[in-house]
Amino acid sequence: MLDQDIKQQLAGYLELMENDIVIKASLADDDISKEMKELVNEIADMSAKITVQETQLERTPSFSVNRLNEDTGITFAGIPLGHEFTSLVLALLQVSGRPPKVDEEVINQIKGINIKGEFRFETYVSLSCHNCPDVVQALNVMSVINPNITHTMIDGAAYKAEVEQKNVMAVPAVYLDGEFFGGGRMSLEEILSQIADGPDPSELTEKDPFDVLVVGGGPAGASAAIYAARKGIRTGIVAERFGGQVMDTLGIENFISNTYTEGPKLMANVEAHVNDYDIDVMKLQQVSKLSKKDLFELELENGATLQSKTVILSTGARWRNVGVPGEQEFRNKGVAYCPHCDGPLFEGKDVAVIGGGNSGIEAAIDLAGIVKHVTVLEFLPELKADAVLQERLYSLPNVTVIKNAQTTEITGDEKVNGISYLDRDTNESHHIELAGVFVQIGLVPNTEWLGDTVERNRMGEIVIDKRGATSLPGVFAAGDCTDSPYKQIIISMGTGAAASLGAFDYLIRN
């Protein structure tokens, strides 16, 4: 079932196993069971430390990964290939006793210092989803460390009836004890923060002032922090999540020196680089206010206050909303923003893509290979996407392009059932029945919280000079939250470096 290259890589990983494990498989006569049986037996044949037992689990087909004489709590309901193959490999290693790469403080939290009760997690995924593995792997780690936590990965394509019954229309979708827990990409720390006591805000307030404090953990923020730390000055990063918007990016083919990578992989390497330096990284922290006193003060949502001599703003951007009735009401119930993740859930159905730029047309092309029909709605008289993408789009038989279309409402009951738009040429209203709407209309900077503290343009972008300096001396900015004309990963990293060097220059001159 596994090709030769993957088997060679897997064989190398399996040599790292520390103790024997048992794969318990619940199988029937269906095609998925047959493929699952082939997979687990193939893996077992590659290591003397792995044995397979057939048993009856909650779902069939499924299999669990266990220590000898102990159910670990990790189950795969579906065949974890594609993006989830790494989740399977890590589960085999960690259940065997290979320690997960997690901070000791987090491990102690998971072990039960702050966790109260028992937790039964289930995560619905699609194997093409690049966001799902982070969630699956985080919950698997928690199950390995704490016997009161169990986790089951459920492939939505293998359990369509469950997906329909629970109205799962976006992945990853996490359920805790049968109730919806959360959706979208979540880090281990983010999940843990919802079921365990977090750090005391006073611990943050008591930190010594920084020389440079970076707000945001995307490419710009990480680059800024590394450049600052290399100068030997006290450096910190405060961020809601590390990785930023890049964590939601699939294929990256224009990052110089690397012909192809993926967002999560790139940012994992960036985070490892950051961790090589003495940088105080404060995750899961949202900044609410910036003010200048003797030092700059950053107030956090949890009430804590951080101080610094200089500040670098690299808060990035987020998906722009259409802003019509139904968009928020049906978010994750038919309204989606990631075609790679959620597209497979709309197999054989009609969907719409709002937006005629590169991201919108790329989404429509991807979806056309999965769904029954795609309707592209573009507000302007012409598509804005590159000519090569438009040529490919118009060659597809199951795509309709509607220009001069102003979306007015996304309709539904418990989930999306249609979209309404106004023809800007004729001023006539139209309605299309469909099951999903993918919004692809660009980004909006995360700068509202700044108010008039620094100069921003009409789009909310922070105005900077060539050194990254803002209108407030001592405050610098970088990346997609600024008026830099091109929003690219490599440019964000460059502006992050420039802002950091600008901040250092400001420090030595003041």
Catalytic residues: 338, 341-342
Cα–Cα distances (Å) from 256 to 243, 429, 496, in that order, read 19, 46, 17
Distance of alpha carbon 169 from alpha carbon 371, whole angstroms: 14
- Token pair listed for 420: 């309404």
CB 37 within 8 Å of CB 55: no
Using only the alpha carbons of the chain, give its radius of gyration: 24
Cα–Cα distances (Å) from 226 to 211, 287, 498, in that order, read 13, 21, 12
Q: Judge residue 161's burial from the number of C-beta atoms within 10 Å of its C-beta, 0-12 exposed, 13-18 middle, 19 or more buried.
A: exposed
**268 dihedral zone (left: phi>0; alpha: psi -120 to 50; beta):** alpha
Distance of alpha carbon 442 from alpha carbon 182, whole angstroms: 24
Q: Residues 72-93, buried b or exposed e (16+ Cβ, 10 A)? A: bbbbbbbbbebbbbebbbbbbb
Distance of alpha carbon 23 from alpha carbon 50, whole angstroms: 7
H-helix or E-strand spanning residue 40: helix 31-44
